Amino acid sequence: MAKLSLDRILQSQGVGTRKWCRQLIDDGEVSIDRVVITDHRASFETEGLSFTLFEEIWLYREHVYIALNKPVDIECSRKPSHRPGVMTLLPEEFGWRDVQAIGRLDHDTTGLLLLTDDGAFNHAISSPKRHVPKLYLATTAEPVTQALIADLMAGVKLHDEPEVLAASFCRQVTEHQLEIILEQGKYHQVKRMLAAAGNHCAALQRVAIGELSIASLGLAEGEWCYLGAEQLTLLR
Protein backbone atom coordinates (compact mmCIF):
# COMPACT_ATOMS: atom_id res chain seq x y z
CA MET A 1 0.00 0.00 0.00
CA ALA A 2 1.10 3.60 -0.55
CA LYS A 3 0.41 7.15 0.52
CA LEU A 4 -1.63 8.96 -2.13
CA SER A 5 -3.33 12.30 -2.55
CA LEU A 6 -7.06 12.19 -1.93
CA ASP A 7 -7.99 12.96 -5.53
CA ARG A 8 -5.86 10.04 -6.72
CA ILE A 9 -7.45 7.80 -4.11
CA LEU A 10 -10.94 8.63 -5.31
CA GLN A 11 -9.96 8.20 -8.94
CA SER A 12 -8.38 4.80 -8.24
CA GLN A 13 -11.59 3.60 -6.61
CA GLY A 14 -13.68 4.39 -9.67
CA VAL A 15 -15.37 7.55 -8.45
CA GLY A 16 -14.69 9.28 -11.76
CA THR A 17 -12.12 11.37 -13.57
CA ARG A 18 -9.43 13.07 -11.54
CA LYS A 19 -10.95 16.47 -12.34
CA TRP A 20 -14.34 15.32 -11.07
CA CYS A 21 -12.76 13.85 -7.93
CA ARG A 22 -11.02 17.14 -7.20
CA GLN A 23 -14.29 19.00 -7.59
CA LEU A 24 -16.05 16.67 -5.14
CA ILE A 25 -13.31 17.19 -2.57
CA ASP A 26 -13.20 20.95 -3.04
CA ASP A 27 -17.00 21.05 -2.61
CA GLY A 28 -16.75 19.27 0.76
CA GLU A 29 -18.41 16.04 -0.34
CA VAL A 30 -15.67 13.75 1.02
CA SER A 31 -14.87 12.98 4.63
CA ILE A 32 -12.43 10.68 6.43
CA ASP A 33 -13.01 9.67 10.05
CA ARG A 34 -16.00 12.06 10.08
CA VAL A 35 -13.76 14.99 9.13
CA VAL A 36 -14.61 16.79 5.88
CA ILE A 37 -11.54 17.10 3.66
CA THR A 38 -11.52 20.05 1.27
CA ASP A 39 -7.91 19.88 0.08
CA HIS A 40 -7.61 17.41 -2.80
CA ARG A 41 -3.83 17.41 -2.38
CA ALA A 42 -4.02 16.03 1.17
CA SER A 43 -2.39 12.59 1.25
CA PHE A 44 -3.35 9.47 3.20
CA GLU A 45 -2.06 5.98 3.77
CA THR A 46 -4.25 3.69 1.71
CA GLU A 47 -3.96 0.58 3.88
CA GLY A 48 -7.22 0.15 5.81
CA LEU A 49 -8.47 3.51 4.55
CA SER A 50 -12.16 4.28 4.19
CA PHE A 51 -13.81 7.49 3.13
CA THR A 52 -17.36 8.75 2.97
CA LEU A 53 -18.80 10.18 -0.23
CA PHE A 54 -22.45 11.27 -0.49
CA GLU A 55 -23.08 9.52 2.87
CA GLU A 56 -21.80 6.21 1.48
CA ILE A 57 -18.75 4.54 3.00
CA TRP A 58 -16.09 3.38 0.54
CA LEU A 59 -13.37 0.94 1.61
CA TYR A 60 -10.13 1.43 -0.30
CA ARG A 61 -9.26 -1.61 -2.41
CA GLU A 62 -6.02 -1.70 -4.39
CA HIS A 63 -7.70 -4.21 -6.70
CA VAL A 64 -11.18 -5.70 -6.82
CA TYR A 65 -11.94 -9.39 -7.26
CA ILE A 66 -15.56 -10.09 -8.04
CA ALA A 67 -17.71 -13.18 -8.49
CA LEU A 68 -20.94 -12.91 -10.47
CA ASN A 69 -23.66 -15.46 -11.07
CA LYS A 70 -24.18 -14.67 -14.74
CA PRO A 71 -27.73 -14.97 -16.08
CA VAL A 72 -28.65 -16.03 -19.60
CA ASP A 73 -28.64 -13.50 -22.47
CA ILE A 74 -25.85 -11.37 -21.02
CA GLU A 75 -22.68 -10.70 -23.02
CA CYS A 76 -19.29 -10.68 -21.30
CA SER A 77 -17.79 -8.19 -23.75
CA ARG A 78 -17.15 -4.62 -22.58
CA LYS A 79 -18.71 -3.55 -25.89
CA PRO A 80 -21.72 -5.88 -26.32
CA SER A 81 -23.29 -6.04 -29.74
CA HIS A 82 -26.72 -7.64 -29.43
CA ARG A 83 -27.53 -8.07 -25.72
CA PRO A 84 -26.91 -6.24 -22.43
CA GLY A 85 -23.30 -6.36 -21.27
CA VAL A 86 -22.16 -7.88 -18.01
CA MET A 87 -21.12 -4.46 -16.69
CA THR A 88 -24.79 -3.44 -16.55
CA LEU A 89 -25.11 -5.84 -13.60
CA LEU A 90 -22.37 -4.10 -11.62
CA PRO A 91 -21.96 -0.68 -9.97
CA GLU A 92 -20.74 2.12 -12.23
CA GLU A 93 -17.41 2.51 -10.44
CA PHE A 94 -16.24 -0.86 -11.73
CA GLY A 95 -16.39 0.51 -15.25
CA TRP A 96 -14.17 3.44 -14.25
CA ARG A 97 -11.75 0.95 -12.68
CA ASP A 98 -11.57 -0.94 -15.99
CA VAL A 99 -12.82 -4.17 -14.45
CA GLN A 100 -12.69 -7.02 -16.97
CA ALA A 101 -14.19 -10.49 -17.09
CA ILE A 102 -11.68 -13.29 -16.56
CA GLY A 103 -12.39 -15.33 -19.65
CA ARG A 104 -15.88 -15.24 -21.08
CA LEU A 105 -19.12 -17.15 -20.90
CA ASP A 106 -21.34 -17.31 -23.98
CA HIS A 107 -24.52 -15.24 -23.86
CA ASP A 108 -26.56 -18.42 -23.30
CA THR A 109 -24.20 -19.87 -20.65
CA THR A 110 -24.91 -19.12 -17.00
CA GLY A 111 -23.00 -19.46 -13.76
CA LEU A 112 -19.76 -18.41 -12.12
CA LEU A 113 -17.96 -15.51 -13.78
CA LEU A 114 -14.94 -13.78 -12.25
CA LEU A 115 -14.03 -10.15 -12.89
CA THR A 116 -11.08 -8.03 -11.80
CA ASP A 117 -8.98 -4.96 -12.51
CA ASP A 118 -5.82 -6.92 -11.63
CA GLY A 119 -4.22 -7.84 -14.95
CA ALA A 120 -1.69 -10.28 -13.48
CA PHE A 121 -4.42 -12.14 -11.60
CA ASN A 122 -6.59 -12.23 -14.72
CA HIS A 123 -3.76 -13.86 -16.65
CA ALA A 124 -2.97 -16.32 -13.87
CA ILE A 125 -6.55 -17.63 -13.76
CA SER A 126 -7.35 -17.56 -17.48
CA SER A 127 -4.09 -18.87 -18.95
CA PRO A 128 -4.43 -22.49 -20.16
CA LYS A 129 -0.86 -23.09 -18.95
CA ARG A 130 -2.05 -22.68 -15.35
CA HIS A 131 -4.51 -25.60 -15.69
CA VAL A 132 -7.13 -24.04 -13.43
CA PRO A 133 -10.03 -26.54 -13.51
CA LYS A 134 -13.52 -25.32 -14.38
CA LEU A 135 -16.57 -27.42 -13.57
CA TYR A 136 -19.62 -27.21 -15.84
CA LEU A 137 -23.10 -28.69 -15.65
CA ALA A 138 -24.22 -29.45 -19.20
CA THR A 139 -27.76 -30.28 -20.26
CA THR A 140 -27.74 -32.43 -23.38
CA ALA A 141 -30.26 -32.77 -26.19
CA GLU A 142 -29.80 -36.55 -26.38
CA PRO A 143 -29.56 -38.89 -23.37
CA VAL A 144 -26.19 -39.18 -21.68
CA THR A 145 -24.55 -42.55 -22.25
CA GLN A 146 -21.48 -44.21 -20.79
CA ALA A 147 -20.02 -44.19 -24.30
CA LEU A 148 -20.36 -40.39 -24.36
CA ILE A 149 -18.63 -40.13 -20.98
CA ALA A 150 -15.84 -42.40 -22.20
CA ASP A 151 -15.33 -40.35 -25.36
CA LEU A 152 -15.12 -37.08 -23.44
CA MET A 153 -12.61 -38.55 -21.00
CA ALA A 154 -10.52 -40.12 -23.78
CA GLY A 155 -10.53 -36.91 -25.81
CA VAL A 156 -12.16 -35.67 -29.01
CA LYS A 157 -10.73 -33.86 -32.01
CA LEU A 158 -12.08 -30.39 -32.66
CA HIS A 159 -11.78 -28.39 -35.86
CA ASP A 160 -8.76 -26.07 -35.87
CA GLU A 161 -7.30 -27.71 -32.73
CA PRO A 162 -3.96 -29.50 -33.28
CA GLU A 163 -4.50 -32.07 -30.53
CA VAL A 164 -7.43 -33.95 -29.06
CA LEU A 165 -9.06 -32.31 -26.04
CA ALA A 166 -10.13 -34.39 -23.08
CA ALA A 167 -12.09 -33.74 -19.92
CA SER A 168 -10.17 -34.23 -16.68
CA PHE A 169 -13.41 -35.42 -15.05
CA CYS A 170 -16.86 -36.33 -16.34
CA ARG A 171 -19.87 -38.03 -14.80
CA GLN A 172 -23.56 -38.46 -15.53
CA VAL A 173 -25.93 -36.53 -13.25
CA THR A 174 -29.33 -37.27 -14.81
CA GLU A 175 -30.53 -38.75 -18.09
CA HIS A 176 -29.85 -35.45 -19.85
CA GLN A 177 -27.21 -33.85 -17.64
CA LEU A 178 -23.52 -34.38 -17.01
CA GLU A 179 -20.76 -32.70 -15.05
CA ILE A 180 -17.52 -32.05 -16.88
CA ILE A 181 -14.24 -30.49 -15.73
CA LEU A 182 -11.97 -28.81 -18.27
CA GLU A 183 -8.58 -27.18 -17.85
CA GLN A 184 -7.85 -25.86 -21.35
CA GLY A 185 -10.41 -23.05 -21.72
CA LYS A 186 -10.81 -23.24 -25.50
CA TYR A 187 -13.49 -21.33 -27.41
CA HIS A 188 -16.95 -22.91 -26.89
CA GLN A 189 -15.11 -25.97 -25.66
CA VAL A 190 -17.88 -27.83 -23.82
CA LYS A 191 -20.37 -27.33 -26.62
CA ARG A 192 -17.87 -28.32 -29.30
CA MET A 193 -16.71 -31.39 -27.40
CA LEU A 194 -20.27 -32.61 -26.92
CA ALA A 195 -21.00 -32.09 -30.60
CA ALA A 196 -17.81 -33.93 -31.59
CA ALA A 197 -18.83 -36.81 -29.31
CA GLY A 198 -22.22 -37.10 -31.05
CA ASN A 199 -24.50 -35.14 -28.70
CA HIS A 200 -25.62 -31.52 -28.42
CA CYS A 201 -25.49 -28.99 -25.59
CA ALA A 202 -28.96 -27.61 -24.80
CA ALA A 203 -27.92 -25.57 -21.74
CA LEU A 204 -24.68 -24.90 -19.90
CA GLN A 205 -23.79 -23.61 -16.44
CA ARG A 206 -20.33 -23.03 -15.00
CA VAL A 207 -20.57 -24.39 -11.48
CA ALA A 208 -17.06 -23.84 -10.12
CA ILE A 209 -13.58 -22.51 -10.86
CA GLY A 210 -10.84 -24.25 -8.94
CA GLU A 211 -12.39 -25.07 -5.59
CA LEU A 212 -14.63 -21.98 -5.58
CA SER A 213 -18.23 -22.90 -6.35
CA ILE A 214 -21.24 -20.76 -7.13
CA ALA A 215 -23.17 -22.67 -4.44
CA SER A 216 -20.67 -21.72 -1.73
CA LEU A 217 -21.09 -18.04 -2.59
CA GLY A 218 -24.88 -18.17 -2.28
CA LEU A 219 -25.43 -15.88 -5.25
CA ALA A 220 -28.74 -15.81 -7.07
CA GLU A 221 -28.63 -15.20 -10.83
CA GLY A 222 -27.52 -11.64 -11.51
CA GLU A 223 -26.01 -11.16 -8.03
CA TRP A 224 -22.33 -10.44 -7.33
CA CYS A 225 -19.95 -10.26 -4.39
CA TYR A 226 -16.37 -9.30 -3.56
CA LEU A 227 -13.95 -12.18 -3.10
CA GLY A 228 -11.74 -12.18 -0.01
CA ALA A 229 -8.29 -13.66 0.48
CA GLU A 230 -9.56 -17.10 1.53
CA GLN A 231 -11.85 -17.37 -1.48
CA LEU A 232 -9.06 -16.27 -3.84
CA THR A 233 -6.88 -19.07 -2.45
CA LEU A 234 -9.49 -21.57 -3.65
CA LEU A 235 -8.88 -20.43 -7.22
CA ARG A 236 -5.15 -21.14 -7.33
pLDDT digits 0-9 by tens, 201-211:
999 999 999 99
Options 3.40.1180.10, 3.30.2350.10, 3.30.70.1560, 3.30.360.10; CATH of 133-209: 3.30.70.1560
Neighbours of 99 (CB within 10 A): 23
Query: 150-202: per-residue pLDDT in tens?
Result: 999 999 999 888 889 999 999 999 999 999 999 987 888 999 999 999 999 99
Residues with active-site annotation: 106
CATH architecture of 3-59: Roll (3.10)
Whether 6 contacts 41, CB under 8 Å: yes
DSSP-assigned states of every residue in 132-200: --EEEEEEESSPP-HHHHHHHHH-B--TT-SS-B--SEEEEEETTEEEEEESS--TTHHHHHHHHTT--
pTM for the whole thing?
Answer: 0.92
3-59 and 133-209 in the same fold: no
Segments making up each domain of the chain, as ranges:
3-59, 65-128+212-233, 133-209
What's the burial of 9, exposed, middle or buried (CB within 10 Å: 0-12/13-18/19+)? Answer: buried
Is CATH 3.40.50.1820 correct for 65-128+212-233? no
